[in-house]
């Protein structure tokens, strides 16, 4: 991975998104079924927020800790919309920005996923996992590692 | 020197920090909302703390009861409980409420979550009512009442409230307050009686939302809709809360519109609401009569159902006006008529 390469070379483009008025129950099911950690929230193709698994867990804290109450918890989540718990203030980049710019943002340790916006539209997201994945698949990164 | 205040004063002990002021202003806000003649005074003197045996601050004293607020993550919960404790001593004053009958089924739980969101948006409180019916012997006709059983019901209700009456979202004190009551008797009678309370703005009842099953609308919900003294909001089991923006209201004629509009606006206000009034008539040309959209159809239920399915409003409103076409629909087959709207909340105005 060349840090001078554009973000478009490593970002995730096949996105699962939600609308702001989708229920939190729907988001919960997506997190469970797709091993996701971040879901971009999009309205009319414009990014309006990001929902992280941490946002969801914070909302669920203290609730649903009893297995008998799981069903009630799902009903509760169905009565809230993702716009109520999503993060609205986001760091954003463009797809032709360099990877090292994204690394500077990740180093701040506030965001673990950066939405990539071109001409006002969401075209991908870049997560710390994308960085790790690309480091790991490079032969050098593995072969040079000494036990 | 701290003097014993009037009985109707709430004293908030603290050190004058922003946290202290937050407690005072929060209590003041709710006391005003309830229209109670209670003064909230602050005390920052250590001698007052000692005299009143205050072990830590912030703390609240009202009618000889001292409530110490927790300083850890439960601060908001303890403040919320303190507010409820103060208001409950005056039976919540003039606070208006949404009444939600609960039998702990999933259907009634959904009605609660939906109703709680609505109450939070409308600035109302939630009153949960669980009706406990003593066993009546079929043979002797004797009523067996074991006080222990109603205690179990009361405990179950308290646990439910304790679990769900806390800060749910980002607005920590913004959620509607929840109080509960266990009543003894037959559910339909007791719930209907509770709707006579002038502080009750609305009753929220749940339905299974499955039109094909026989008990789509339980007998209790059915009776409450028939006899309630206030509007009833019927929530299908799978219908999650969404802020109401689009409404389809069934009207018989143009003359009905002002009454229906008033009923809707009394609950939801008028800002940002898009209301469409519709009527179904046979052998007429479809079109508009002032604000009324007239649909042509022999089968009113089917025509209405199709229109609603096509337009997917957030809410359907029906006025149960005496001797009206809609009332006759309701009387002929009430559950069937609601079943056709199985996925959309229905507000029944009286």
Domains in chain A, start-ordered, CATH in brackets? Answer: 7-143 (3.10.580.10)
From chain A, pick out residues whose CB is under 8 angstroms from the CB of B166.
62
Paired tokens of A44: 């009319």
- Is residue A98 scored above 90 in pLDDT? yes
- Is residue B182 scored above 90 in pLDDT? yes
Q: Judge whether B2 lies within some domain.
A: no
From chain A, pick out residues whose CB is under 8 angstroms from the CB of B110.
75, 78-79
- Do residues B257 and B136 both lie within one domain? no
What is the domain-level CATH number for residue B39? Answer: 3.40.30
- Is residue B100 scored above 60 in pLDDT? yes
**Which of B64, B88, B112 represents a domain boundary (last residue)?**
B88
Task: Report whether B273 contacts B245 (CB < 8 A).
Answer: yes
pLDDT digits (tens, 9 = 90+) for B103-112: 888 888 899 9
Mean pLDDT across the stretch B150-159?
89
Alpha-helical runs (H) found in B171-256: 187-194, 219-227
Task: Report whether A112 contacts A37 (CB < 8 A).
Answer: yes
Residues A40, A42, A45: CA angle, nearest 5 degrees: 125
pLDDT grade for B5, boundaries at 50, 70 and 90: very low
From chain B, pick out residues whose CB is under 8 angstroms from the CB of A63.
163-164
Give dist(CA A43, CA A49) in Å, integer: 9
B343/B193: higher pLDDT: B193
- Do residues B221 and B342 both lie within one domain? no
- Do residues B14 and B127 both lie within one domain? no
pLDDT digits (tens, 9 = 90+) for B242-282: 888 999 998 888 888 999 999 999 888 888 899 999 988 87
Q: Judge whether B254 lies within some domain.
A: yes
- Is residue B299 scored above 70 in pLDDT? yes
Read off φ and ψ for residue B270, nearest 5 degrees. Answer: -120, -10
**Which of B39, B58, B88 represents a domain boundary (last residue)?**
B88
- Is residue B6 scored above 80 in pLDDT? no
Question: Per the omega criterion (within 30 degrees of 0), is the bond before B36 cis?
Answer: no
- Do residues B128 and B259 both lie within one domain? no
Cα dist from B208 to A16, B99, B232, whole Å: 31, 19, 16
Q: How far is CA A92 from the centre of its chain?
A: 12
Mean pLDDT across the stretch B298-310?
82
Q: Judge whether B4 lies within some domain.
A: no
3-state secondary structure of B206: strand
The count of structural domains within chain B is: 3
Residue in chain A lying closest to B112 (CA): A76
- Do residues B224 and B290 both lie within one domain? no
End-to-end CA, chain B: 56
Give dist(CA B340, CA B302) in Å, integer: 8
Q: In what order do the strands lie in the sheet with B59-62?
A: B39-43, B9-13, B59-62, B65-68
- Is residue A47 scored above 90 in pLDDT? yes
Q: Is B241–A21 a contact, with Cβ atoms under 8 angstroms apart? A: no
Interchain CB contact of A74 with B (< 8 Å): no
Mean pLDDT across the stretch B199-219?
70
What's the burial of A81, exposed, middle or buried (CB within 10 Å: 0-12/13-18/19+)?
buried
Given the cut 0.90, state whether the ipTM is greater than it.
no
Tracing tokens 């069937």 back to the chain, one arrives at: B336
The whole-angstrom distance between B349's CA and the closest CA on chain A is 23
**Which of B43, B67, B88 represents a domain boundary (last residue)?**
B88
Q: Judge whether B319 lies within some domain.
A: yes
- Do residues B57 and B26 both lie within one domain? yes
**Interface with A, mutate which of B168, B176, B236, B237 (most A CBs under 10 A):** B168
Mean pLDDT across the stretch B94-122?
91
Count CB atoms within 10 A of the CB of residue B76: 16
**Of B114, B166, B170, Cβ closest to residue A79:** B114
- Chain A stretch 12-31, residues whose beta carbon is closer than 8 A to a beta carbon of chain B: 21, 23, 25
The domain of B30 spans: 9-88
- Do residues B79 and B136 both lie within one domain? no
- Do residues B124 and B62 both lie within one domain? no
């Amino acid at each position: 991975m060349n840090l001078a390469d554009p973000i478009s070379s490593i970002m995730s483009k096949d996105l699962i998104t939600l609308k702001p008025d989708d229920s939190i129950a729907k988001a919960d099911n997506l997190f469970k079924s797709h091993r996701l950690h971040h879901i971009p929230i999009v309205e009319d193709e414009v990014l309006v927020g990001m929902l992280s698994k941490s946002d969801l867990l914070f909302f669920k804290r203290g609730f649903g800790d009893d297995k008998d109450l799981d069903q009630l918890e799902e009903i509760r989540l169905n009565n809230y919309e993702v716009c109520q718990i999503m993060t609205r203030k986001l760091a954003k980049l463009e797809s032709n920005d360099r990877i090292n710019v994204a690394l500077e943002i990740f180093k701040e340790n506030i965001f673990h996923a950066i939405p990539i916006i071109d001409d006002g539209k969401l075209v991908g997201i870049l997560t710390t996992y994308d960085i790790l994945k690309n480091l790991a698949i490079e032969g050098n990164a593995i072969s040079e590692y000494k036990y | 020197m701290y003097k014993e205040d009037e009985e109707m004063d709430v004293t908030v002990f603290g050190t004058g920090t922003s946290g202290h002021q937050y407690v005072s202003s929060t209590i003041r806000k709710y006391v005003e909302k309830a229209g109670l003649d209670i003064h909230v005074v602050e005390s920052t003197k250590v001698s007052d703390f000692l005299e009143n045996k205050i072990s830590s601050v912030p703390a609240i004293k009202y009618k000889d009861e001292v409530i110490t607020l927790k300083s850890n993550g439960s601060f908001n919960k303890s403040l919320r409980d303190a507010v409820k404790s103060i208001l409950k001593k005056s039976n919540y004053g003039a606070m208006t409420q949404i009444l939600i009958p609960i039998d702990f089924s999933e259907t009634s739980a959904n009605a609660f979550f939906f109703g709680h969101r609505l109450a939070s948006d409308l600035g109302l409180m939630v009153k949960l009512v669980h009706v406990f019916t003593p066993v009546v012997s079929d043979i002797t006709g004797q009523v067996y009442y074991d006080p222990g059983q109603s205690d179990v019901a009361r405990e179950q209700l308290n646990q439910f409230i304790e679990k769900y009456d806390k800060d749910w979202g980002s607005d920590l004190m913004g959620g509607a307050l929840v109080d509960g009551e266990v009543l003894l008797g037959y559910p339909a009678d007791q719930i209907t009686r509770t709707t006579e309370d002038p502080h009750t703005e609305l009753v929220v009842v749940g339905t299974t939302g499955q039109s094909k099953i026989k008990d789509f609308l339980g007998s209790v919900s059915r009776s409450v809709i028939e006899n309630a003294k206030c509007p009833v909001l019927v929530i299908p089991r799978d219908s999650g809360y969404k802020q109401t923006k689009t409404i389809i209201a069934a009207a018989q004629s143009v003359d009905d519109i002002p009454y229906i509009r008033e009923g809707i606006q009394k609950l939801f206000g008028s800002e940002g609401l898009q209301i469409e009034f519709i009527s179904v008539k046979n052998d007429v040309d479809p079109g508009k009569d002032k604000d009324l959209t007239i649909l042509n159809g022999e089968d009113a239920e089917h025509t209405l159902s199709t229109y609603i399915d096509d337009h997917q409003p957030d809410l359907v409103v029906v006025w149960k006006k005496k001797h009206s076409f809609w009332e006759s629909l309701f009387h002929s087959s009430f559950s069937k008529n609601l079943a056709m709207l199985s996925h959309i909340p229905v507000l029944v105005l009286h």
